[in-house]
Structure 1
Amino acid sequence: MSIQVQELPCQEGSIGLITLNSPKTLNALSGAMIDDIQQTLDGWAESPDICMVVLKGAGERGFCAGGDIRELYDALSEGRDGAKAADYFVREYRLDFSVHRFPKPVITIAHGAVMGGGLGLLTASRYRLVLPDITMAMPEITIGLFPDVGASWFLNRLPGRLGLFMGLTGARLNASDVMRVGLADMVLKPEQAEDLLARLQQERWSGDSAVDDNRLFRLVKQLEHPDYRALPDSELARHEQTIAQLSAGEQLPDIVEQLLGAEENSDWWQAAMNNLRGGCPVTAWLVWNQLKKAQQMSLKDIFRMELTMATRCTQRPDLKEGIRARIIDRDQSPQWSYASVADVPAEVVESHFTPELDDSNDPMGLD
């Protein structure tokens, strides 16, 4: 079992603690882990003893580096229709939606690598607490997928067109960046994260979610803030005006050309541009369209849209080829189905948004 489940007694009530426990893979979410977390949360949602849930990751290197894409590659290799791989996304998105809608407070304490599916869990939580060593990104363009796990919702809530920039470039954000744009609520010192559970266990929790949430909110607000001057300098503070200027416009090929042609010499910028330059052209269009379409959508409809998109990705060659090149063979030379953003036909892009299922046959069963 790649998660550790504990029920920690308090003065009254209990805390449900889930620890992602696959540190060798940076706690990448396997299908079994997703199922185990879902089953645990379903039970705790109905339990009168569990008053809140805490999520964290084992090991020193990260909370969760995303989905287990080796497992996804194997699923893609087991049939041409992509059905087994699509089922992985059904289960992952159901879990993320469950965290968003969980009837009790959910606290995620994230450290190190927080990418893809890890960011999905963090952003779905009521309390998003991070450690100073956090590195956050949505790097799906490098493997021919798209920013999923509800990214159509949380990337759209970033200032300006930063969400578009993150999706196009897989840019990595540090703790200062994350706080600057509101992707976390607080940076904790490592020792504070260790002490927080003990502090929570000293409290009397009523089992009334609203009452407990108010008490928890006050307790978290009382935590000592770290000296933000000691955190890494914000890369976004340095580049955000350039990002805003270059990401403006109504034609995606022009925006991509502007970004790639910018005379910015920082290592951070160049790493982001290398992701864009070598990334999947179809993914760039998916990012562009998903953010536009999601602006007026409910969270439930966003997950439904993303499931349609993911299902289509499992049926096309780019996702399997991207994982092969980046993770399996590691030649770092994916052969995408189209050479550039300008070459991608509009009908190929739009096909990713055409659902196979209607509301009466929803595989995620979202309430």
Structure 2
Amino acid sequence: MTEVVTFEEIDCDNGNKIATVTLNSPRSLNALSGEMIDLLYPQLQLWQKQCDIVAIFLQGQGDKAFCGGGDIVNLYKAMKGSEQKQNPERYSDGVEEYFTKEYQLDYLIHTFTKPFIVWGNGIVMGGGLGLMVGGSHRVVTENSRIAMPEISIGLYPDVGGSYFLNKMPENCGLFLGLTGASINAADAKYCNLADYFVTHDNKQSFIKQLTQIDWEKSSEHNQNSISTLLANLENASSSKLPESKLSEHKALISQVTSFDNLNDIVNSILAVNCEDKWFNRAQGSLKHGSALSATIAYQQIQLGKSLALADCFRMELNLSVKSGQFGEFCEGVRALLIDKDNAPKWHFDSINSVDQKTINWFFESKWSNDNHPLFGRYRTLVHQSYVHEKAYEFINNLI
């Protein structure tokens, strides 16, 4: 049986090694399965401690996708299994287990102590973006197609979206979170999701040049050496960088997201009359997507502005588990990927119809302060009880 993740240690000229990781499920667009996570997490921990490993290189098998998202088909089966057991709360242990492990892996990449290079070629969506965004050197190519399309499946932009969507300029993060719009390499650089643009045919040359670096024990020195190498490759690739739609529409995006409530923002986005196909697709995704997902996304982004990364993941785990319990996520996956009728029966037909009781329930913590599954050994300045206190304060003053 073929391994869903392959690992290799490549010898460098000065006796050190580059560790390469390949997501190896191209038929599923290298979707991040639970089995992949179970292999990745301990191996990365091991390499972080291994003295002769100087950098990590993460890629997807094939030319079509780095990682097309999480393993939502198996999540759907877990949610349906919970239904069939006549669980009155429709709560699934499998959903909690998957998201807990996924967010632990994402957090490890964000906090990795050695250079962590991600080759984001092809499709990078959802869970794939969660893997990429935490890297120290995030590379996109002429083939990169990046999106957080969760509004179309009744979820919300997770995998740290509460944190990284707030790092984008001109309210781009809010726009992308609400519309699930697809972006290219230039867009990814513009909105701080990527660091370098290099054409895909330079990948093997780049890996070879990595082995020729004069590696030292200093992480800062090694980071700078990789940055210099990538900057040189980017200069040679610059003529193939596509035009950025986010940059082109930055004034419009800033204008339509400038309101202080979600209803006006959504109405403003949908009211724009333009002939740009990219913007029109974004409008379509918002119009036909889940109103509940949009409401959750808006509030998580507002809350994420004041939260540390670890606390964002804690908040998101609660939201994800409850998304698996509520039924909107299950229905969205059914319509898009299982029955493929593209006719989801959402719980709410508009932003205004999403009731406050439901939103309060989503942001009410499932766990007490001391038994949260995520990052038990990490204590940040923002305590979990504060997260949910701020959530209630925000929700109760909304709209």
TM-score, normalising length: structure 1: 0.96
Match of 1:181 among 182, 187, 191: 191
Which residue does the alignment assign to 2:203? 193
CA distance in 1, matches of 2:178, 2:191: 17
Q: 1:255 aligns with which of 245, 262, 265?
A: 265
Q: Percent identity?
A: 37
What is the match of residue 155 of structure 2?
A: 145
The answer (yes or no) to whether the contact 1:130–1:175 under 8 Å persists in 2 is yes
Q: What residue is the counterpart of 1:68 in the other structure?
A: 71
Deviations 1:90-130 (A, max 9, x none): 01000000000111110001111111111111110000111
Which residue of 2 is the match for residue 164 of structure 1?
A: 174
Match of 1:349 among 329, 334, 359: 359
What is the deviation of 1:218? Answer: 3.0
Output the aligned Cα RMSD: 1.4
C-alpha distance in 1, partners of 2:342/2:190?
A: 32
Q: Residue 5 of structure 2 is aligned with which of 3, 6, 9? A: 3
Show the counterpart of 2:386: none
Which has the higher mean CA deviation after the structures are superposed, 345-354 or 214-223?
214-223
Structure 1 residues 121 and 343: alpha-carbon distance in aligned structure 2, compared to 1, 3 A threshold: same
The answer on whether the counterparts of 1:114 and 1:136 sit within 8 Å (CA) in structure 2 is: yes
Contact 1:13–1:206 under 8 Å retained in 2: no
Per-residue CA distance 1:207-254 (angstroms, 9 max, x = gap): 442332233333333334245453332222332221111111012111
Q: What SS class does the counterpart of residue 210 from structure 2 fall into?
A: helix
1:34 is aligned to 2:44: no
Does 2:26 match 1:23? yes
Q: What SS does structure 1 have at the residue aligned with 2:235? A: coil
1:301 corresponds to: 311
Q: Unaligned regions of 5+ residues in structure 1, if any?
A: none
The answer to whether 1:337 aligns with 2:339 is: no
Q: Write the distance in 2 (CA, Å) between the matches of 1:286 and 1:212.
A: 40
Paired residues, what number? 367
1:86 matched to 2:88: no
Per-residue CA deviations over 1:7-60 (Å, capped at 9, x if unaligned) read 111122111100111111111101101111112111111212211111011111
Q: Contact 2:310–2:375 (CA<8 Å) still a contact in 1?
A: no
1:241-284: CA deviations, max 9, x gaps? 21111111012111111111110222111211111111111111
* 1:363 corresponds to which of 363, 367, 373: 373
Shift of 1:316: 0.2
DSSP-derived class of the 2:57 partner:
strand
Contact in 2 for aligned 1:161/1:244 (Cα 8 Å): yes
Q: Does 1:269 align with 2:269?
A: no
> Quick check: 90-99 or 68-77, which moved more?
68-77
Secondary structure in structure 1 of the residue aligned to 2:133: helix
Amino acid corresponding to residue 74 of structure 2 in structure 1: E
In 1, the alpha carbon distance for the partners of 2:39 and 2:338 equals 26
Question: 1:333 aligns to what SS in structure 2?
Answer: coil
1:146 offset after TM fit, Å? 0.5
1:108·1:122 contact (CA, 8 Å) conserved in 2? yes
Point out the more displaced range, 355-364 or 69-78.
Answer: 355-364
User: Which AA in structure 1 matches 2:288?
Assistant: G
Greater Cα offset, 79-88 or 20-29 = 79-88
Instruction: Report the equivalent of 2:87.
Output: none
AA of the residue aligned to 2:323: C
State whether residues 63 and 113 of structure 1, in contact with CA within 8 Å, keep that contact through their aligned partners in structure 2.
Answer: yes
- The aligned amino acid for 2:305 is Q
Matched, 1:14 2:24: no
For residues 197-216 of structure 1, the C-alpha deviation after alignment (integer angstroms, 9 at most, x for no partner) is: 11111234234423322333
Which residue type is aligned with residue 63 of structure 1? F
- Structure 1 residues 238 and 217 mapped into 2: Cα distance closer, same or farther (>3 Å)? closer
Counterpart residue type for residue 313 of structure 1: S
Deviation at 1:365, TM superposition (A): 2.9
Instruction: Give 1:311 deviation, angstroms.
Output: 1.2
Supply the distance in 2 between the matched residues of 1:294 and 1:234 (Cα, whole angstroms). 26
Check the 8 A contact 2:142/2:240 in 1, yes or no: no
How far apart, in 2, do the equivalents of 1:150 and 1:180 lie? Answer: 19
Deviation at 1:292, TM superposition (A): 0.8
Matches within 5 A, 1:273-292: 273-292=283-302
- 2:60: which partner in 1? 57
Q: TM-score, normalised by structure 2?
A: 0.89
The alignment partner of 2:8 has SS state of: strand
Partner of 2:334: 324
Contact 2:33 2:71 in 1 (8 A): yes
Higher relative contact order (CA closer than 8 Å, sequence separation 6+): 1
